[in-house]
Amino acid sequence: KEILDEEDLDSLEDRPPVLTIMGHVDHGKTTLLDYIRTSKVVASEAGGITQGIGAYVVPVPIDGKLQTCVFLDTPGHEAFGAMRARGARVTDIAIIVVAADDGIRPQTNEAIAHAKAAGVPIVVAINKIDKDGANPDRVMEELASIGLMPEDWGGDVPMVQVSALKGDNVDELLETVMLVAELQDLKANPHRSAKGTVIEAGLDKSKGPIATFIVQNGTLKKGDIIISGEAFGKVRALFDEKGNHVDQAGPSIPVQVIGLNNVPIAGDEFEVVSSLDAAREKAEARAEALKNDHIATQAGYGKVTLSSLASAVSRGRLSGLDVHQLNIVMKVDVQGSIEAITQALRVLPQDNVTLKFLLQSPGDISTSDVDLAVVTKAIILGFNVKAPGSVKTHADNKGVEIRLYKVIYDLIDDVRKAMEGLLEPVEEQVTIGSAEVRAVFTSGSGRAAGCMVREGKVVKDCSLRVLRNGKTVYVGVLNSLRRVKEMVKEVNAGLECGIATNNFDDWAVGDIIEAFKRVEKRRTLEEASATMAAAIEKTQI
Ligand code: GDP
């Protein structure tokens, strides 16, 4: 998503950098932000009480002049990753905090992976240098070993040793950050209608839907008509982080907004449109597009999987054209497994496909890993780790493949087969039955479909596809199944039942519901080879 348009190019002006502090838990992110915020804010306007709007505007003295920078108050990389997964690119520079007495930890790796995937320059704050046991040199060595070469050693990553607690060298850190910002030549056109990104949103008891926007281009003004996702409205009031009313907010400036009809989603963009009617129309079109996206994702379109890679490779081999890269997010039980797996994968012939690791880190699979995989179109490989149910659901919703392994050989072998174009799908959809919608009724939680099972059976929690006039209108999960008011596990052909799903209730009489299971499917290597040999033979004829 490009923030600047061509017509902006003649009216560009400098804008403040937007910064995000990331790093491992307890390494001092909050302390650093608090120090910067309070020391700087108090210095410039004594007594100002800040209210959390998710971002701070901080004046930084550089060469005797006050320059503005903006801190996103979303410590941790989870928020960063989640926003990125929604397509937002708000942060100009990532400050990665590493405690000098602890060194690189799993969340440090994750934070770096997210910043790299986003193409955001990194400044490292080596924190807690006041502590006994602090060893900044060792931290720099560790960082160098994972590809972040300190500037002091001839690399391109600035690193500043600080004590967030005492404030030592924090000014130097900010100066370094501003230098990096200057090199980025950050510009926007303040003389146009605003667009930007939602960074926080919620429902206020008295004010209604309330959201913090970062304006990324243009100037947002009171009275503007705004739209974000499916939410829209007229800006009734704007507040800065101190809770003061403001009339407008220019590029890079965070501002709290009231006047929306609904709570928007953090990470979505917002824009100003000409009228409420235009906003309404756009919101409706988006709702429709969103539904289609959901159907496409649920049906597996656009999903990057090992088997889709395999078929791309075998196709590529037939046409002799395609070159591929497989992006991998790898989570393992212990650090030692990373070495073992990476070395084994490295010796695989990379003629068809090159492997790129975005993250290799110990720990269970998290939603943040899924977000990283979304942004980079990666698959997630887990070795002796778990993926909690909520993470699996998130991955399903986002179309990300998670493969878990207990044996290193199996992991290597699957990747090898995929790279050679020999891996077959692990999953097959097996139809178990179908039902016809005969009536639609409103139940406690939404609308449900009164159905007649025509073939096979329908089973609670099975996958379902809703067909209308032969076209798929929804793919999801059968969440509720009733038979004569009772909750039941399954209903057989010839019987009536009530069906409901959590994410869809737009039923129409005549809809056909196909019930299916996703079953694991493993073909032997011989079978796969045979399939491919047959395919090659066919194209040669
Ligand atoms: P976060 O989880 O990354 O936000 O970490 P916090 O900012 O909450 O800091 C975790 C702990 O480390 C707190 O007890 C801080 O007081 C302490 N801490 C943070 N920065 C420093 C520092 O520069 N020196 C020392 N000695 N302690 C620090």
Partnered with residue 487 across adjacent β-strands are: 482
Closest residue to atom 9 of ligand 1, CA basis: 28
Which atom of ligand 1 lies at the shortest distance from residue 33's CA?
7
- DSSP notation for 190-232: SSSB-EEEEEEEEEETTTEEEEEEEEEESBEETT-EEEETTEE
**What per-residue confidence (pLDDT) applies to 221?**
98
CA dihedral 395, 396, 398, 401 (to 10 degrees): 60
**Cα angle for residues 327, 332, 335 (degrees, 5° grid):** 110
Closest residue to atom 2 of ligand 1, CA basis: 26
What b-and-e string marks burial along 519-537, b requiring 16 or more CB atoms within 10 Å of the CB?
Answer: eeeebeeeebeeebeebee
CA–CA separation, 220 vs 277, rounded Å?
19
In the sheet with 324-332, reading across from the earlier edge strand, the strands are 353-362, 324-332, 379-383, 402-405
Q: Which residues contact 485 (CB under 8 A, 6 or more apart)?
A: none
Expressed in angstroms and rounded, the spacing between residue 403 Cα and the centre of ligand 1 is 36
Expressed in angstroms and rounded, the spacing between residue 202 Cα and the centre of ligand 1 is 29
Choose the residue to mutate in 31, 124, 162 for probing ligand 1, maximizing ligand atoms within 8 Å of C-beta. Answer: 31
Expressed in angstroms and rounded, the spacing between residue 222 Cα and the centre of ligand 1 is 39
Average pLDDT over residues 509-523: 80
For residue 539, pLDDT over 90 is answered with no
- Tell me which of 316-325, 415-424, 501-510 is least confident: 316-325
Tokens 């039942």 belong to which residue? Answer: 497
Choose the residue to mutate in 132, 135, 165 for probing ligand 1, maximizing ligand atoms within 8 Å of C-beta. Answer: 165
76 lines ligand 1 (CB under 6 A): no
CA–CA separation, 369 vs 386, rounded Å?
12
Closest residue to atom 25 of ligand 1, CA basis: 128
362 lines ligand 1 (CB under 6 A): no
30 lines ligand 1 (CB under 6 A): yes
pTM exceeding 0.80:
no
- Is the ipTM higher than 0.90? The answer is yes
Expressed in angstroms and rounded, the spacing between residue 37 Cα and the centre of ligand 1 is 15
165 lines ligand 1 (CB under 6 A): yes
What b-and-e string marks burial along 62-84, b requiring 16 or more CB atoms within 10 Å of the CB?
Answer: eeeeebebbbbbbbbbbbbbbbb
- Tell me which of 43-52, 131-140, 163-172, 462-471 is least confident: 43-52
Q: What is the pLDDT of residues 258-299, one digit of tens each?
A: 999 999 988 889 999 999 999 999 998 888 777 766 666 666
**How many other C-beta atoms lie within 10 A of the C-beta of residue 445?**
11
Expressed in angstroms and rounded, the spacing between residue 128 Cα and the centre of ligand 1 is 7
**What per-residue confidence (pLDDT) applies to 423?**
63
130 lines ligand 1 (CB under 6 A): yes
163 lines ligand 1 (CB under 6 A): yes
Highest mean predicted confidence (pLDDT) among 255-269, 298-312, 421-435: 255-269
317 lines ligand 1 (CB under 6 A): no
Expressed in angstroms and rounded, the spacing between residue 32 Cα and the centre of ligand 1 is 8
For residue 532, pLDDT over 60 is answered with no
- Tell me which of 5-14, 101-110, 414-423, 528-537 is least confident: 528-537
Mean pLDDT (the chain, rounded): 85
286 lines ligand 1 (CB under 6 A): no
- DSSP notation for 363-384: S---HHHHHHHHHHT-EEEEES
CA–CA separation, 92 vs 177, rounded Å?
10
What b-and-e string marks burial along 9-24, b requiring 16 or more CB atoms within 10 Å of the CB?
Answer: eeebeebbbbbbbbbb
164 lines ligand 1 (CB under 6 A): yes
Partnered with residue 161 across adjacent β-strands are: 126
Cα Rg of the chain (Å, integer): 27
